């Protein structure tokens, strides 16, 4: 007999769909993630200056983003690269929220910083490099803020779900899973976008799933195509890097869209988002079929 997903992911039972829990809806200020609305989170890789952040926030809001992203604490592969503005960056994010009404998602890298970041952020981002930092996951979970959990770059889906399970086990059910590309033998792109993971997670887990096409691609010209694929795979939202002048960005400029590029991507997504809404209403597998698949 075919192994059920419940058996395969036996170490993460609470993240799987059940009769009782088919979809987690994560409330964030005036919106929800995991509901009918497709939610775009956009903004710079790093918070750099007030002018950079405010210009980006106003622009992405006008173009349909609902959440502002921006790193104040940056996990960098090189110890000599820009490490983020820290508390000053958090204050700039809060200022941008107050100016635009956008909710804020930003990364927390250390359990010591959780209380400070939770004071300013609406969603705590756990970065790829920290997906299995269980003391951080525990502290972040206990802050009570929704958690955006990024898949580790060498994490299997089972590893990913175990980390989500750890957050749930620490009393926080507001978890958003984020596929951001994984390491494979392919080196032409920064990572390999695992769209199958999105489709699978949407079938088996009740947690919202979003895609980060920027870190997956590593090249801005690929970002819109990966975003469209994510919508087609039933993702609940996107996390995208946008900057007023990407070639001068202090981090991840190559994968960052400029304002016209972001607008073009948002326009190109419209028919896919409309189709997604129809699919959600009419073509989702019947409830019993789905529960049987979960096991
Ligand atoms: C980021 O979102 O800027 C980031 C550092 O992402 P990741 O943890 O996926 O590399
Ligand atoms: Mn980045």
**pLDDT tens digits, residue range 89-139?**
999 999 999 999 999 999 999 999 999 999 999 999 999 999 999 999 999
Half-sphere exposure of 203 (CA within 13 A, CB side): 19
- Quick one: which H or E segment has residue 89? helix 87-100
Nearest CA to ligand 1 atom 9: 128
Query: How many Å lie between the centroid of ligand 2 and the Cα of residue 173?
Result: 26
| Residues forming a β-bridge with 239 | 41
pTM for the model: 0.95
pLDDT over 60 at 251, yes or no: yes
Query: How many Å lie between the centroid of ligand 1 and the Cα of residue 45?
Result: 8
Which residues 6+ apart lie within 8 Å of 260 measured at CB?
Answer: none
Nearest to 143 by CA among 126, 160, 127: 126
What the block records as the tokens of 65 is 């983003």
Query: How many Å lie between the centroid of ligand 2 and the Cα of residue 257?
Result: 12
pLDDT over 70 at 244, yes or no: yes
pLDDT over 90 at 292, yes or no: no
pLDDT band of residue 44 (cuts 50, 70, 90) is very high
Strand, helix or coil at 29? coil
| Ligand nearest to the backbone CA of 130 | 1
Nearest to 32 by CA among 282, 269, 208: 208
| Residues forming a β-bridge with 176 | 148
């Amino acid at each position: 007999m075919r192994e059920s997903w419940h058996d395969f992911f036996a170490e993460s039972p609470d993240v799987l769909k059940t009769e009782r829990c088919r979809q987690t809806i994560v409330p964030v200020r005036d919106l929800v993630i995991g509901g009918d609305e497709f939610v775009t989170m956009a903004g710079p890789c790093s918070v750099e200056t007030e002018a950079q952040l405010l210009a980006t926030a106003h622009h992405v809001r006008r173009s349909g983003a609902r959440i502002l992203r921006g790193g104040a604490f940056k996990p960098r592969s090189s110890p000599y690269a820009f490490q983020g503005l820290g508390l000053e960056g958090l204050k700039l994010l809060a200022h941008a929220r107050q100016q635009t009404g956008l909710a804020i998602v930003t990364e927390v890298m250390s359990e010591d910083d959780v209380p400070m970041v939770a004071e300013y952020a609406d969603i705590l981002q756990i970065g790829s490099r920290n997906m299995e930092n269980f003391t951080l996951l525990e502290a972040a979970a206990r802050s009570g803020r929704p958690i955006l959990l990024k898949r580790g770059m060498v994490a299997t889906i089972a590893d990913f779900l175990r980390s989500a399970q750890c957050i749930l086990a620490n009393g926080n059910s507001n978890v958003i899973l984020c596929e951001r590309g994984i390491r494979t033998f392919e080196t032409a792109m920064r990572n390999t976008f695992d769209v199958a993971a999105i489709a699978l997670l949407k079938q088996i887990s009740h947690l919202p799933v979003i895609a980060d096409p920027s870190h997956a691609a590593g090249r801005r010209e690929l970002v819109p195509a990966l975003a469209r694929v994510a919508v087609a795979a039933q993702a609940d939202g996107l996390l995208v890097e946008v900057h007023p002048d990407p070639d001068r960005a202090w981090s991840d400029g190559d994968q960052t869209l400029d304002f016209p590029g972001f607008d073009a991507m948002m326009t190109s997504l419209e028919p896919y988002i409309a189709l997604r809404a129809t699919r959600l209403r009419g073509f989702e597998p019947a409830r019993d079929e789905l529960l049987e698949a979960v096991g």
